[in-house]
């Protein structure tokens, strides 16, 4: 992580320390691989086993700050597109299957009264929340990119 | 850390936290919506009468999914949000489509299958017997892996799935048993297939993983996302064929 550009580190740290830490790991994983997805399989004779060893070291493929930004922007963009696509399709499927609520066990559990399913998979706010996050994330990427361009935060 | 980096970090943290509040399933880990999407896609795509049910088997418009590996709830449970299922009735008989249900293996260990189509009769035996894991293999079991599309799944995932298939049915992978006497065949018996499996993933598979799965007749569905409409339609067709030939 220390090998990354400080602005990129800040973005990844923000994700990792949030409840969406898995999204942060997705970004980190993308940075580890670099643009060559086969790289991890070329490390040793049986590298796919090597990958699971606890001694697996952080080795970013690219030390160029702009490329690091492109990589995390790319992976989060694809994740968001997938989530948005699924949210829309789940919404359509729920109508076909005559479902008003699709929730996970434990979600909306209330000690008394009716359970609150507002965050369920067909909740109206889901698509908007994903879009809002997308905008905020892109804004942070833009801020870091501008700082790099202006020579403000260069490693 | 500079004030600039501090600001960037807290902006990203705030945006992600806001999203997690609006979509609590995303905070449970990646892949929950992927599982839910495919579960619904299969339910909506197969022929016959498909009805969403609560854990007691009553038709419902509020479908509860398992948030993680779980057992079948007892039919007597009055818990408001125990996981439900889809009841599937067609001329092949009654089946149930479940998400993240645990299955009991020969070793008595339980194994979660992300999406499983099971025999309704067995499900009801468990449900009326106080709940628990489904005994043995599913009719169809799908293991789902939602990763970035740049990821290649290594063979550990295939090994794990084969291990589950073997524990749920130790005859898995053996198609025919034959007996030979001196100089001639005495008998041969083809074993019925109990449990079909598939690995469905947004990632790609390493060639070794693909070969491993093929060897054991485990279907592979790499690069499988809601956008890959042809692949999705292909999986639904395959499930339909298996149901029709039960």
Chain A residue at shortest CA distance from B70 = A105
pLDDT above 50 for A41: no
pTM: 0.86
Asked if the interface predicted TM-score (ipTM) of this complex is over 0.90, the answer is no
The tens digit of pLDDT for each residue in B173-225 reads 888 899 988 888 898 888 877 889 999 998 889 899 999 999 999 999 999 98
Q: Is B154 on the interface with A (CB under 8 A)?
A: yes
Are the Cβ atoms of A100 and B227 closer than 8 angstroms? no
Chain B residue at shortest CA distance from A152 = B4
B57 and B127 in contact (C-beta within 8 Å)?
yes
What confidence category does residue A2 fall into, taking pLDDT thresholds of 50, 70 and 90?
low
Contacts of B144 in chain A (CB under 8 A): none
Contacts of A154 in chain B (CB under 8 A): none
Q: Output the CATH code of domain B30-47+98-121+136-244.
A: 3.40.1350.10
Q: Is B233 on the interface with A (CB under 8 A)?
A: no
Are the Cβ atoms of A97 and B52 closer than 8 angstroms? yes
Chain B residue at shortest CA distance from A112 = B80
pLDDT above 70 coverage of chain A, percent: 69
What pLDDT is attached to residue A55? Answer: 31
DSSP for residue B192: P
What confidence category does residue A152 fall into, taking pLDDT thresholds of 50, 70 and 90?
low
What pLDDT is attached to residue A108? Answer: 64
Q: Give the H or E element holding residue B17.
A: helix B3-22
B63 and B84 in contact (C-beta within 8 Å)?
yes
Mean pLDDT of B161-180: 92
What pLDDT is attached to residue A57? Answer: 38
Substitution target from B68, B79, B148, B212 for chain A, most A beta carbons within 10 A: B148
What pLDDT is attached to residue A115? Answer: 67
Q: Is B200 on the interface with A (CB under 8 A)?
A: no
First-to-last C-alpha distance (Å) of chain A: 13
pLDDT above 90 for A142: yes
pLDDT above 50 for B236: yes
Contacts of B200 in chain A (CB under 8 A): none
The CA distances from residue B75 to A147, B72, B78, B80, B178, in Å, are 60, 9, 8, 12, 44
Strand-pair partners of B101: B70, B113
Q: What is the 3-state secondary structure (H, E, C) of chain A?
A: CCCCCHHHHHHHHHHHCCCCHHHHHHHHHHHHHCCCCCHHHHCCCCHHHHCCCCCCCCCCCCCCHHHHHHHHHHHHHHHHHHHHHHHHHHHHHHHHCCCCEEEECCCCCCCCCCCCCCCCCCCCHHHHHHHHHHHHHHHHHHHHHHHHHCCCCCC
Are the Cβ atoms of A9 and B33 closer than 8 angstroms? no
A133 and B18 in contact (C-beta within 8 Å)?
yes
- Mean residue pLDDT of chain A comes to 76
Are the Cβ atoms of B44 and A90 closer than 8 angstroms? no
What pLDDT is attached to residue B113? Answer: 97
Residue B111 CA to residue A2 CA, distance in Å, equals 39
pLDDT above 60 for A134: yes
Are the Cβ atoms of B33 and A83 closer than 8 angstroms? yes
What pLDDT is attached to residue A30? Answer: 78
B177 and B191 in contact (C-beta within 8 Å)?
yes
Contacts of A33 in chain B (CB under 8 A): 150-151
More reliable by pLDDT, A30 or A57: A30
Helix (H, G, I), strand (E, B) or coil at B240: helix
pLDDT above 90 for A117: no
What confidence category does residue A110 fall into, taking pLDDT thresholds of 50, 70 and 90?
low
What pLDDT is attached to residue B129? Answer: 95
Q: Is B153 on the interface with A (CB under 8 A)?
A: no
A68 and A62 in contact (C-beta within 8 Å)?
yes
Rounded to a whole number, what is the distance in Å from the CA of B97 to chain A's nearest CA? 14
A125 and B22 in contact (C-beta within 8 Å)?
yes
**What are the helix (H) ranges across B46-185?**
120-128, 155-168
Using CB atoms, pick whichever of A99, A106, A117 lies closest to residue B67: A106
What pLDDT is attached to residue A49? Answer: 41
Residue A69 CA to residue A31 CA, distance in Å, equals 9
Are the Cβ atoms of A85 and B28 closer than 8 angstroms? no
Q: 3-state DSSP: chain B helix, strand, coil percent, rounded to 5?
A: 35, 30, 35
Residue B5 CA to residue B196 CA, distance in Å, equals 51
Chain B residue at shortest CA distance from A146 = B4
What pLDDT is attached to residue B53? Answer: 96
Are the Cβ atoms of B19 and A78 closer than 8 angstroms? no
Residue B15 CA to residue B20 CA, distance in Å, equals 9
B25 and A107 in contact (C-beta within 8 Å)?
yes
Helix (H, G, I), strand (E, B) or coil at B110: strand
What confidence category does residue A125 fall into, taking pLDDT thresholds of 50, 70 and 90?
confident
More reliable by pLDDT, A57 or B211: B211
Residue A153 CA to residue B127 CA, distance in Å, equals 61
Rounded to a whole number, what is the distance in Å from the CA of A60 to chain B's nearest CA? 15
Residue B150 CA to residue B58 CA, distance in Å, equals 42
And the tokens for B241? 């064929």
Using CB atoms, pick whichever of A20, A86, A99 lies closest to residue B52: A99
pLDDT above 80 for B55: yes
A32 and A58 in contact (C-beta within 8 Å)?
yes
pLDDT above 90 coverage of chain B, percent: 65
Are the Cβ atoms of B12 and A14 closer than 8 angstroms? yes
pLDDT above 90 for A123: no
Domain extents for chain A?
A: 6-149
């Amino acid at each position: 992580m220390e090998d990354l550009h400080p602005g990129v580190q800040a973005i990844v740290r923000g994700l990792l320390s949030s409840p969406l830490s898995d999204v942060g790991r997705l970004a980190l994983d993308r940075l580890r691989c670099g643009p060559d997805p086969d790289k991890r399989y070329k490390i040793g004779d049986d590298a796919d086993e090597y990958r699971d060893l606890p001694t697996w070291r952080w080795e970013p493929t690219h030390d160029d700050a702009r490329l690091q930004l492109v990589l995390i922007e790319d992976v989060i963009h694809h994740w968001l597109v997938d989530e948005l696509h699924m949210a829309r399709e789940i919404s359509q499927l729920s109508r076909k299957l005559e479902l008003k609520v699709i929730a996970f066990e434990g979600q909306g559990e209330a000690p008394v009264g009716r359970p609150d399913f507002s965050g369920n998979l067909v909740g109206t706010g889901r698509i908007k929340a994903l879009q809002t996050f997308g905008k905020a994330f892109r804004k942070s990427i833009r801020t870091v990119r501008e700082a790099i361009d202006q020579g403000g935060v260069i490693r | 850390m500079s004030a600039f980096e501090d600001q960037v970090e807290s902006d990203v943290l705030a945006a992600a936290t806001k999203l997690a509040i609006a979509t609590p399933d995303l905070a449970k880990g990646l892949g929950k919506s992927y599982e839910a999407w495919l579960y619904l896609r299969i339910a909506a795509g197969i022929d016959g009468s498909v009805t969403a049910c609560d854990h007691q088997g009553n038709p419902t418009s509020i479908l509860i999914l398992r948030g993680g590996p779980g057992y079948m709830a007892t039919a007597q449970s009055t818990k408001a949000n125990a996981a439900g299922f889809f009841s599937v009735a067609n001329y092949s008989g009654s089946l149930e489509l479940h998400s993240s249900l645990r299955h009991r293996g020969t070793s008595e260990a339980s194994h979660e299958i992300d999406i499983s189509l099971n025999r309704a009769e067995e499900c009801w035996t468990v449900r009326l017997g106080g709940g628990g894991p489904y005994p043995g293999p599913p009719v169809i079991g799908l293991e789902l892996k939602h990763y970035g599309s740049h990821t290649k799944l290594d063979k550990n995932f295939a090994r794990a799935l084969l291990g589950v298939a073997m524990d749920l049915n130790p005859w898995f992978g053996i198609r025919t048993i034959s007996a030979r006497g001196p100089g001639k065949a005495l008998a041969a018996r083809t074993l019925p297939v109990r449990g079909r499996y598939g690995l469905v993933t947004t990632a790609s598979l390493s060639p070794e993983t693909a070969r491993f799965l093929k060897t054991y007749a485990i279907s592979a569905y790499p690069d499988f996302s809601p956008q890959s409409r042809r692949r999705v339609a292909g999986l639904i067709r395959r499930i339909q064929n298996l149901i029709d030939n039960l």
